[in-house]
Structure 1
């Protein structure tokens, strides 16, 4: 290409690579014909030459930028890009690029520094003092300091519609000790606080941008992460670009990330194999063998911290909502192992609690119940239910959720349930859950390092994500016990007390725990597997 440009440029400038046929050489007889003029090149040739050279440079630059653009396939379109309001797993993927947190976790769930470099607890466990990293800038050029941390924590607590309020409700006040030191005072000891700061409760947004944009902040988020927001096209893409003043910029090698929304797992994988994507999250387990056999692709995997569950709306009328025996019958109609084999190729981990059976916080006194259709029918009869019992069954519109729902539907039918599947997009389903406008919903929660993050918001009375509208005094007492004590044994006893209530009342029926599967091009290096299911963009390179 370089030779072609050189030749073309030489011709346009009137300097052919070799003499043209019929041209006379300079000599005394024709020297006048070769006497230089003030401007031997017409303007159009100068313009064309400039365009050719600049186009060549632009093409090279564009190729360079393209080579450093990570195309990341998401299963669903995130909700609000505001850490205070957000609640979707796919949104957390985008936040990992946009918004650093006070602290993070490593691959073994240890809490490690990020925007805070060190921290300490008071002897009574009611005050957490944190040192903020010096020299950190938000993407609008504003400084991150103790005042900004105070602003963000108070925003989480006070903002209308905050999804973080319940996660950090124990905070009583936030004090600025000096420009880089913040003191967080608690109403009571709160064991999960640091773990909460490893997720959106610990994300810091620019106070200046948040105040200026108000309730429109999610349309142009400004954080302190490695990439800054560029654009969003609903149900299509979110684009971010490297923030040149990021505090850890020397370890950020990507120039641009394009998050592409592709709900269909087959289409997402096809895009990866054809080179239209470099990375995708939530690979379908049934597609794992074909990716493993492709020399151009790699796999990342880890069991999630969260769970897949059935939400039951206890505020509705009808026997499913009002009678625990009917909910028990529904659970007994389900074979978790069969769902795992049929839909997930045996890759997921069946479970019946908010943590998986391999987790040290799993309450072993309550093992996974076996399917028992005869007992399920007997329970429905005891409850006075005339079968078939019709139940509207809301599921997400991705194909894995629908396949799971179809298997559950077939199983439940044998026991006397008629589940009417209603597939809808993720955002609409969450709105239905918020409004209490559902009967039964197949739902997934990505999970948190501390079990409190998997339970409190869903099960505590009037908690923000209490979609089942569950309220139980003994369950609330268990939450109080586990939250107010850092002693592992005290907390273990509290989890057992909680399980005693929740697994009998069944506001949720826990089904299984996903093996998180990522598929990516061999061109991508530096990828690590984390149990929270989020990609760390630090160190990632596209070769």
Structure 2
């Protein structure tokens, strides 16, 4: 159901500040800067942990999945060829070493770990890697096609070596193999279930899939086949879906939940002082943005009508109408960061130009709407997840935009449904987030290249496609950095994605646990988590 709020901006600001004004006073900048990825202590074997997520994971199929929530499950049961460490460096996981790349950049040879078993007891080997990667590249509806579009073929050189032959040099490929494109599934289970793999997924991992009850829980048990099982302390992980921030927090405090993702920012100053709760804090690769539907008709490129689709000046006006700094202060207690592009400031490809934010200028926004000749207020719907955090941000965006001549109607929707509707073109604008990738191409190509899996706007141009592909093919870091300055400049001119803010991850767990880890990729790692040893 669409929701309309006609409060003026000052009144809305007062309402939001009043809701959070009773929080203990802390130094917000200091709290955000105090990175704490894990707390370590001696732990014992056994027990189960309940992890509460803020949204329902989509398919537990690495080929088809597209949500951060599903990645939270995969990290415990589906290892990848590569992973990222706490500094977001690429490290081997199921691969035995980083890939060997030919001088022309068109061949990548990957050695594999030996003596590894899938969680059904069948062997992990090079043919299994080929089968999974071919499925990622070829299965209808695959969300991995764009990520692996440069891969022309996968060859088995011997039982423990694969070679990827590329159609073009592609610098981000190793980074892509550190996410779902690098997950390897049991060939026996793929042969048995095919496209229904999600019903009983089997990979290599510290935990194995047991059951899923939709909108309630996903259960994983410690794997007896895992190659590093001696380091796995817990017997069972139970993931629960609880969109309501207040319920997650109340159940953490009561002991019903052991870990919660993601702590609402109004609660952060309180948890900083709570000795019964451990608060983890990590800068992120994640951004949130508004995506207007420009050419997405039923998942196909076609004619979309309306001011946002018809005229880039209207999209520019919407961007100018949003004060990103004030949005962060009001909606998130100043604990996030304004963001105006897809490349995080922690990236080696970040430059002042890629990080620069345009001005907040409602007067110029009104002038652009007048130049475009549109009737004001410009009315459109904005689909967003039906959770308190996004609704709070949505209401503030709505009020800011109203000052510049927009009438945004909020359309709260269950999170996975919102993503599905965005993919299928069933929206006027979509407000949502992307968890981010270490390589810039992982934050750009899928959203802006023709036919890409997350190009929800449907908008592209041959010139921008070529520029994005040239940046991905460039192996020299300074030259690649300069190309991304051009890419980001083009994205700002077109506004097919209007970037707003970058989150800070706040994850909490009971003080009875230790070894829970959170990295900038936003994934909660439970592989070595356990209950604290008495006296530890």
Task: Give yes or no for contact 1:527–1:536 (8 Å, CA) kept in 2.
Answer: yes
CA distance in 2, matches of 1:455, 1:318: 25
CA distance in 2, matches of 1:481, 1:94: 34
SS of aligned partner of 2:408: strand
| CA offset digits 1:23-60 (Å, max 9, x no partner) | xxxxxxxxxxxxxxxxxxxxxxxxxxxxxxxxxxxxxx
Partner of residue 362, structure 1: 350
345-354 or 476-485: bigger deviation:
476-485
Structure 2 spans left out of the alignment, 5+ residues: 1-43, 296-303
Offset of residue 290 of structure 1: 1.3
Offset of residue 540 of structure 1: 1.0
Matched, 1:231 2:211: yes
Partner of residue 410, structure 1: 399
SS of aligned partner of 2:353: coil
Partner of residue 60, structure 1: none
Partner of residue 132, structure 1: 112
| CA offset digits 1:482-531 (Å, max 9, x no partner) | 12121102211221121121110100000010001101111111123311
CA distance in 1, matches of 2:521, 2:183: 16
How many residue pairs match? The answer is: 480
| CA offset digits 1:388-445 (Å, max 9, x no partner) | 1110111101110011000000111111111011100011111111111111111100
Partner of residue 19, structure 1: none
Partner of residue 515, structure 1: 504
Task: Give yes or no for contact 2:45–2:530 (8 Å, CA) kept in 1.
Answer: no
CA distance in 2, matches of 1:520, 1:187: 46
SS of aligned partner of 1:205: coil
Bigger Rg over Cα: 1
Counterpart of 1:428 (choices 417, 421, 429) is 417
Matched, 1:350 2:330: no
162-171 or 121-130: bigger deviation:
121-130
SS of aligned partner of 1:238: strand
Offset of residue 356 of structure 1: 3.0
Matched, 1:260 2:235: no
Task: Give yes or no for contact 1:481–1:490 (8 Å, CA) kept in 2.
Answer: no
CA distance in 1, matches of 2:440, 2:353: 17
SS of aligned partner of 2:212: strand
SS of aligned partner of 1:116: coil
Counterpart of 2:84 (choices 105, 118, 122) is 105
Matched, 1:248 2:228: yes
Task: Give yes or no for contact 2:517–2:526 (8 Å, CA) kept in 1.
Answer: no
Offset of residue 219 of structure 1: 1.0
Task: Give yes or no for contact 1:479–1:498 (8 Å, CA) kept in 2.
Answer: yes
Offset of residue 361 of structure 1: 2.4
Offset of residue 67 of structure 1: 5.9
Partner of residue 339, structure 1: 327
SS of aligned partner of 2:389: helix
Partner of residue 171, structure 2: 191
CA distance in 1, matches of 2:424, 2:142: 16
Matched, 1:492 2:451: no
Task: Give yes or no for contact 2:45–2:234 (8 Å, CA) kept in 1.
Answer: no
Task: Give yes or no for contact 1:392–1:439 (8 Å, CA) kept in 2.
Answer: yes
Counterpart of 1:448 (choices 437, 452, 456) is 437
Counterpart of 2:282 (choices 302, 310, 313) is 302
CA distance in 2, matches of 1:106, 1:412: 40
Offset of residue 358 of structure 1: 5.0
Counterpart of 1:377 (choices 348, 354, 366) is 366
| CA offset digits 1:5-39 (Å, max 9, x no partner) | xxxxxxxxxxxxxxxxxxxxxxxxxxxxxxxxxxx
Task: Give yes or no for contact 1:363–1:499 (8 Å, CA) kept in 2.
Answer: no
Partner of residue 459, structure 1: 448
Task: Give yes or no for contact 2:46–2:530 (8 Å, CA) kept in 1.
Answer: no
Partner of residue 154, structure 1: 134
With structure 2 as the length reference, what TM-score do the two structures score?
A: 0.88
Task: Give yes or no for contact 1:307–1:355 (8 Å, CA) kept in 2.
Answer: no
CA distance in 1, matches of 2:63, 2:347: 29
SS of aligned partner of 1:306: strand
Higher relative contact order (CA 8 A, sep 6+): 2
Partner of residue 505, structure 1: 494
Matched, 1:87 2:66: yes
Task: Give yes or no for contact 1:474–1:501 (8 Å, CA) kept in 2.
Answer: no
CA distance in 1, matches of 2:267, 2:504: 13
Counterpart of 2:382 (choices 382, 387, 393) is 393
Task: Give yes or no for contact 2:76–2:527 (8 Å, CA) kept in 1.
Answer: no
Partner of residue 329, structure 1: 317
Structure 1 spans left out of the alignment, 5+ residues: 1-64
Partner of residue 526, structure 2: 537
Task: Give yes or no for contact 1:363–1:495 (8 Å, CA) kept in 2.
Answer: no
Task: Give yes or no for contact 1:475–1:497 (8 Å, CA) kept in 2.
Answer: no
CA distance in 1, matches of 2:434, 2:106: 29
Task: Give yes or no for contact 1:447–1:453 (8 Å, CA) kept in 2.
Answer: yes
With structure 1 as the length reference, what TM-score do the two structures score?
A: 0.87
CA distance in 1, matches of 2:305, 2:283: 37
CA distance in 2, matches of 1:538, 1:236: 22
User: Does the C-alpha gap of structure 1 residues 255 and 67 become closer, same or farther in structure 2, counting only changes over 3 Å?
Assistant: closer
Matches within 5 A, 1:271-282: 271-282=251-262
| CA offset digits 1:176-232 (Å, max 9, x no partner) | 111111111111111001000110001111011012111211011111111111111
SS of aligned partner of 1:167: coil
CA distance in 2, matches of 1:486, 1:512: 29
| CA offset digits 1:142-195 (Å, max 9, x no partner) | 100000001011000011110001001111111111111111111111100100
CA distance in 2, matches of 1:113, 1:365: 33
CA distance in 2, matches of 1:391, 1:67: 53
